[in-house]
């Protein structure tokens, strides 16, 4: 009798160990019920509740019972996560030997004897998925489908049935588990407001979340640059200031053939990430623009090793940041006669970033070594490679807002026979189409087209001679008249 009690205690202890080891964040018993009470005619139900991993541990019960809405308050459910549930063969939980064998297995070992293909179930909007009518036994649960940017929960084992934690002499045939997912988000921003012309620095900042798991088996960030961008340099840091060392904790590689930057974290770097789960990885990429157009750019953040081999945009793959855009275009100037609208060739202009610079003749914009442009036979010139006036740091801007950029044109040489412009002309860049005229500027003939009197010419001498004759005639008339009056006396 005494030995029978000892055996039951040993079996109970094994069952406790098995139950505790078989649940990931969700189903273990403090004691095991009497195996003789298991009803082999019963079937089991497994309900999986999927939530994002919280920033801090919840310390909620993980004994197979259903948690209340109040206990789950503040947790974010995850829809669209698929699990594959496989019964592990050769494990009979109605026997002591079956429980002993189950307790000795790891998930990897269980996978080798799991029935295939298993059953699949996907969480709904509440993060819940249920499989019913399951034969009693040991089950391997593997997360096989999940959104991009998600680090899945590790495969885990669960027994059906489990010890009822409220009535420890009974068994639960309906088991609830609460595996968590670490969700990684990412953003990308651009800083181009200080840039004015092609060749100026345009900076892109990639910010990636750190998955709240330990260990982190892989972490990578890639940035495939648009062909209109040329790579200059990159820096990597953590948002909370934790130290990272290039070459030791991470590597930075730029592949010129694909125009792609790759930042990879080493084992030591991933350990630092795991120790700072609330921080963010910040990668700053410096580039220059080499051609006009609207340049969109994205980045990929791979939060785990499994995501490395999945195409961006596919389930389980990396987070793809929303595209961010920098815009570059042209000033197309048309020069014409103010009266006839005839096109005027030979007018030369420089362009300045501010009105003050234009008036002072300082800081003229130089693009690819050129700082002045001359109208052709059609009266046109194109100044190509300037940032859009109404677009800065990835958003639309209006006059007066930070980043809005006007350009100021100064005529340095007028067409032959025409006057220089009296003051700078303000214009904007809103297009990269060289056929679209941005600004039309009229030129006025010398002296506004009025003829100046000639100095020393024939016309002047003729006028002078005529005047002398008129004056001489007037004098002779006056003398003759005076003589006649004297003779009459």
Question: Going by CATH, does the domain composed of 186-322 fall within 2.60.40.740?
Answer: yes
pLDDT above 70 (res 193): yes
pLDDT above 80 (res 456): no
Per-residue pLDDT of 148-160, as tens digits, reads 888 888 899 999 9
pLDDT above 80 (res 369): yes
Q: What is the pLDDT of residue 114?
A: 95
Residue pointed to by tokens 């998600």: 150
Confidence of residue 61 (pLDDT cuts 50, 70, 90): confident
Confidence of residue 222 (pLDDT cuts 50, 70, 90): very high
Confidence of residue 110 (pLDDT cuts 50, 70, 90): very high
Q: What is the pLDDT of residue 452?
A: 55
Q: 343 phi and psi, to 5 degrees?
A: -65, 145
DSSP string, 303-372: -SGGGGGS-TTSTTSPEEPPPEEEEEEEEEEEEEETTT--B----EEEEESSHHHHHHT-S---BTTB--
Alpha-carbon distance of 366 to 350, in angstroms, equals 9
Alpha-carbon distance of 220 to 300, in angstroms, equals 8
pLDDT above 90 (res 447): no
Q: Is the model more confident about 467 or about 202?
A: 202
Q: What is the pLDDT of residue 69?
A: 92
pLDDT above 90 (res 112): yes
pLDDT above 90 (res 260): yes
pLDDT above 60 (res 16): no
**Closest by alpha carbon to 430, among 328, 353, 354?**
328
Q: What is the pLDDT of residue 446?
A: 67
Confidence of residue 483 (pLDDT cuts 50, 70, 90): very low
pLDDT above 80 (res 378): yes
Q: What is the pLDDT of residue 37?
A: 84
439 forms beta bridges with 333
Domain 327-449 CATH superfamily: Immunoglobulins (2.60.40.10)
pLDDT above 90 (res 266): yes
Per-residue pLDDT of 36-60, as tens digits, reads 788 999 999 999 999 998 877 788 8
Residue pointed to by tokens 């930070």: 402
Q: What is the pLDDT of residue 476?
A: 44
Q: What is the pLDDT of residue 19?
A: 42
Q: Can you give the three-state secondary structure of 288-303, one letter per residue?
A: EECCCEEEEECCEEEC
Confidence of residue 487 (pLDDT cuts 50, 70, 90): very low
Per-residue pLDDT of 385-407, as tens digits, reads 999 999 999 999 999 999 999 99
First CA to last CA distance, the chain:
185
* CATH 2.60.40.10 segments of the chain: 2-181, 327-449
pLDDT above 90 (res 269): yes
Averaged pLDDT of the chain: 87
Mean pLDDT throughout 191-208? 97
Tokens describing residue 374: 């001359």
Distances (CA, A) of 321 to 223, 313, 372: 10, 10, 40
Burial tier of 477 (Cβ tally within 10 Å: 0-12, 13-18, 19+)? exposed
Q: 360 phi and psi, to 5 degrees?
A: -90, -15
**Which of 2.60.40.10, 1.20.1730.10, 3.40.980.20, 3.40.50.720 is the CATH number of 2-181?**
2.60.40.10
96-103 and 2-21 helices, crossing angle to 10°? 40
Percent of the chain with pLDDT over 90: 73
* CATH 2.60.40.740 segments of the chain: 186-322
Tokens describing residue 56: 């801090």
């Amino acid at each position: 009798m005494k030995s029978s009690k000892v055996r039951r205690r040993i079996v109970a202890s094994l069952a406790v160990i098995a139950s505790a080891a078989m649940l990931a964040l969700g189903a273990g018993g403090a004691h095991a019920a009497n195996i003789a009470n298991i009803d082999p005619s019963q079937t089991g139900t497994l309900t999986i509740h999927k939530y994002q991993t919280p920033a801090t541990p919840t310390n909620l019960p993980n004994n197979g019972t259903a948690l209340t809405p109040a206990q789950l308050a503040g947790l974010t459910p995850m829809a669209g996560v698929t699990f594959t549930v496989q019964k592990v063969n050769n494990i009979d939980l109605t026997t002591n030997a079956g429980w002993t064998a189950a307790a000795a297995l790891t998930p990897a070992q269980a996978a080798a004897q799991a029935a295939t293909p298993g059953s699949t179930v996907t969480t709904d909007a509440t993060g819940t998925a249920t499989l019913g009518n399951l034969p009693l036994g040991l089950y391997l649960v593997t997360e096989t489908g999940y959104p991009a940017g998600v680090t899945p929960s590790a495969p885990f084992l669960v027994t059906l049935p489990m010890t009822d934690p409220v009535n420890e002499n009974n068994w639960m045939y309906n088991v609830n588990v609460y595996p968590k997912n670490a969700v990684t988000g990412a953003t990308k921003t651009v800083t181009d407001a200080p840039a004015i012309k092609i060749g100026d620095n345009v900076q892109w900042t990639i910010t990636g979340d750190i998955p709240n798991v330990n260990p982190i088996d892989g972490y990578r960030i890639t940035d495939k640059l648009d062909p209109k961008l040329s790579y200059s340099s990159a820096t990597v840091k953590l948002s909370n200031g934790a130290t990272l060392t290039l070459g030791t904790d991470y590597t930075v590689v730029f592949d010129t053939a694909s125009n792609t930057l790759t930042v990879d974290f080493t084992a030591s770097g991933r350990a630092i990430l795991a120790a700072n789960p609330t921080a963010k990885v910040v990668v700053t990429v410096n580039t220059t623009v080499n051609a006009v157009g609207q340049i969109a750019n994205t980045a990929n953040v791979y939060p785990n090793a499994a995501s490395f081999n999945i195409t961006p945009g596919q389930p389980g793959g990396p987070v793809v940041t929303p595209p961010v855009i920098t815009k570059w275009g042209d000033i197309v100037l048309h020069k014409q006669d103010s009266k006839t609208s005839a096109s005027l060739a030979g007018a030369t202009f420089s362009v300045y970033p501010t009105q003050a610079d234009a008036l002072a003749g300082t800081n003229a914009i130089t693009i690819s070594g050129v700082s002045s442009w001359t109208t052709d036979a059609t009266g046109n010139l194109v100044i190509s490679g300037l940032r859009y006036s109404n677009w800065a740091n990835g958003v639309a801007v209006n006059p007066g807002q930070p980043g809005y950029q006007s350009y100021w044109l100064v005529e340095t040489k007028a067409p032959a026979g025409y006057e220089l412009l009296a003051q700078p002309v303000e214009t904007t860049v809103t297009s990269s189409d060289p056929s679209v005229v941005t600004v039309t500027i009229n030129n006025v003939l010398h002296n506004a087209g009025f003829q100046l009197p000639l100095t020393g010419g024939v016309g002047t001498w003729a006028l002078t001679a005529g005047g002398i004759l008129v004056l001489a005639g007037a004098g002779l008339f006056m003398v003759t008249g005076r003589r006649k009056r004297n003779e009459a006396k």
